[in-house]
Structure 1
């Protein structure tokens, strides 16, 4: 069906219970995919499934992407219900900010396990299914922090730069196969993570929320937060059958922040 180009495809979205992940799940459902959303909060996932189920077949699988055994079990559960994973969206991630001097090994390891190693392990689980089926899409949700440097975000920037490196290397390795690998790189997006960031700035500096927000969006020429649905639209496009020539790309969804 022309209006359901992903019909019959099973998409798995990590961190799919809220924010960008939930918007991506909604977009893929609208394109006809069967969607598995994963995350660590079973209650949040259940609520998201209730909201999304009117759009198509959707299921939730509790899975912590920082734990290799949980990923293996989660993919087995997802595939057991909806079939092999044809579309993987590595969206799960955490963001913590601190001056370099206060970025300890525990913070570094936590961010790396979740934002980079988790994506690597999910790709390890999904790509063999895609190769066996003869079709696949991997989309990594990185960040503009993976394309440039941000002060006070050493670990996060390093992880997102690593995720873009993983994207490019895997895309080149799979270039002769019917599997594409791309990244989307949102700027500051209207999500719970950004709301927490704003709260922290206000609490630590005593500035108004409006002033704190103005500073966050200053690098964006459009002077606004990106909407989760805008990121989801880019992800959906990369998953379309007609996007088969797009691979190894890191697409900024950031109002012109990166040009």
Structure 2
């Protein structure tokens, strides 16, 4: 396709990142896949219909970020579409949230996206085209109990997106965030296990509680998040947005 783009997706081994990578590939784009798990990336690459590149990296390591971009640039040229899907959560009352918990959330959910955005922007600006989409969370827009460190990191990520979008608005580069509620992914499985262990509910009861938390009465699917990402990639007029994919939980 004439408008095929060079894409880099972090957190591509599973969940939202994998769903986005599949959709980008199906749309005709080249997709470089980044996560810490080589096995997961190899399994995903085998499913993609289009060209792919496996670039394993721990995105909290600045040198690994540089190597990932350099690998893509050597193989294909500068990254045109950057999807920041790597992330994790943690849950604890404030009084039991350790400095290490706090720092881990900031390192992975905020500092790593900042470094990757900073690395990608010069090439995008030089080309006059770029799309950056960060997977944030509804926790970027509202606070809930027991997830202070995660919420702070996602609020920061949305702030980074908004500031970068304003700065780059006249360059042809757009920067957006997609803010899902609970998505049916391994990360939510971890949340379910945590709820079950701390409340005594069965895993099924814990999952049903998360489903009831959303007006549509179910978890969001990774493909529904990918729908919003692909919209941001397609449009030159959507920038600086935090697009809710939450089943109507937060109306804005």
TM-score bin, normalised by smaller chain = over 0.9
Q: 1:244 aligns with which of 236, 240, 247?
A: 236
1:84 aligns with 2:78: yes
After the TM superposition, which parts of structure 1 deviate over 4 Å for at least 4 consecutive aligned residues?
A: none
Q: How many residues align?
A: 251
Q: 1:94 aligns with which of 68, 74, 88?
A: 88
- 2:184 counterpart residue number: 190
In the TM superposition, residue 206 of structure 1 has moved relative to its aligned partner by: 2.2
Q: 1:10 aligns with which of 6, 11, 23?
A: 6
TM-score after normalising by structure 1: 0.94
Do the aligned residues in 2 keep the contact of 1:34 with 1:58 (CA within 8 Å)? yes
- 2:56 counterpart residue number: 62
- 1:223 counterpart residue number: 217
Structure 2 residue runs of 5 or longer lacking an equivalent are none
- 1:105 counterpart residue number: 99
Instruction: Name the SS for the 2:55 alignment partner.
Output: strand
1:46 aligns with 2:42: yes
CA distance in 1, matches of 2:203, 2:102: 28
Instruction: Name the SS for the 1:62 alignment partner.
Output: coil
1:22 aligns with 2:18: yes
CA distance in 1, matches of 2:180, 2:29: 23
How well do the aligned residues superpose, as a CA RMSD in angstroms? Answer: 1.1
Instruction: Name the SS for the 1:64 alignment partner.
Output: coil
In the TM superposition, residue 16 of structure 1 has moved relative to its aligned partner by: 0.5
CA distance in 2, matches of 1:25, 1:252: 20
Q: Which moved more, 1:211-220 or 1:14-23?
A: 211-220
In the TM superposition, residue 218 of structure 1 has moved relative to its aligned partner by: 2.6
Q: CA, structure 1 residues 6+32, in 2 after alignment: closer, same or farther (shift >3 Å)?
A: farther
- 2:249 counterpart residue number: 257
Structure 1 residue runs of 5 or longer lacking an equivalent are none
Instruction: Name the SS for the 1:204 alignment partner.
Output: helix
Q: Which moved more, 1:208-217 or 1:23-32?
A: 208-217
Instruction: Name the SS for the 2:169 alignment partner.
Output: coil
